[in-house]
Amino acid sequence: MTPTHTRRSFLSLATVAAASVGLTGCSLFGVGRNSAGSAARQTDMPAVDGSRTLVAYFSVPETTNPNGMTQDEENSTHVVDGKVYGNTQYVAMLIAGRLGAAQFRIETAEQLPLNHQALIDRAVAWQDANARPALKAQIPNLGRYDTVIVGYPIWEYDMPMPLYTFFEQHDFSGKNIYVFTTHDVSGLSGTLEKVTEMLPRAKVSTNAFEISRNDMNDSQPRVTEWVDRIAQA
């Protein structure tokens, strides 16, 4: 299948030109049980200053080849001008581009499999073991940022376990935290509450953003609306 025949609409690369493209994508698993939409504005959060904001995200591509994708590969990616992005990656790029914010990719120390079933098996094994997978790197300059926007796919009705490592290994005291998810139909799947519990010394906004993989064609206006709302809080 050529890029022009994928079910993803191709947006002009100019829409994400302000964001970094040296990033990788995400995979999505399962049908969620705690669907939730974006919350209303949280009035006790300050306006987000893009120059003091970091968008951190976890995204594992199942392919980087836009041609001949399987259904699972199409579900986990968004194609722009022939370049393959993970769903979570693409949303992170849009957020960072709109705010003029920096980006940080959350990566595991081990290289993850791209095969869909192998990736599911790894995610389930991590969950069963309540594992904290080692990360490739930590944020090197967290003190520069007042706000951290964290994005992840929903894997097996939860955050991927590397996100637990990420939250536990960084000191977010005094930070303003926003979360966003990409998913099948699971919304936030209860993860906002988990992040809030894990970061008692941070201010975690109830105004989270979530988008289904089936709605990625509409992601740009939806992201813009959400970003503009938190930037004007």
Residues 23-56 have pLDDT tens digits of: 333 433 433 333 333 334 455 899 999 999 999 9
61 or 233, higher pLDDT: 61
Indicate which CATH number applies to the domain containing 35: 3.40.50.360
Half-sphere exposure of 4 (CA within 13 A, CB side): 0
Angle at 231 between CA 228 and CA 233, to 5 degrees: 110
- Rounded Cα distance between 126 and 112, Å, is 12
The residue type of 222 is R
Q: Are 139 and 168 in contact (CB under 8 A)?
A: no
Residue 9, pLDDT score: 32
- Rounded Cα distance between 119 and 117, Å, is 5
What is the DSSP annotation of 146-162? SEEEEEEE-BTTB--HH
Find the domain containing 75 and state its range. Answer: 3-231
Looking up tokens 């120390």 gives: 109
Residue 43, pLDDT score: 52
Q: Are 17 and 23 in contact (CB under 8 A)?
A: no
Residue 44, pLDDT score: 80
- Ranges of beta strands (E only) in the chain are 53-57, 77-80, 83-86, 102-105, 147-153, 176-183, 203-204, 209-212
Total count of domains within the chain: 1
Burial class (CB in 10 A: 0-12, 13-18, 19+), 200: exposed
Q: Specify the DSSP class assigned to residue 108.
A: B
Residues 107-137 have pLDDT tens digits of: 999 999 989 999 999 999 999 999 999 999 9
- In the chain, DSSP finds a helix count (H) and a strand count (E) of 6, 8
Reading the block at residue 57, the tokens are 């995200």
pTM score: 0.82
CA distances to 65, 98, 190, 216 from 78, in Å: 11, 18, 25, 7
Reading the block at residue 58, the tokens are 């976890």
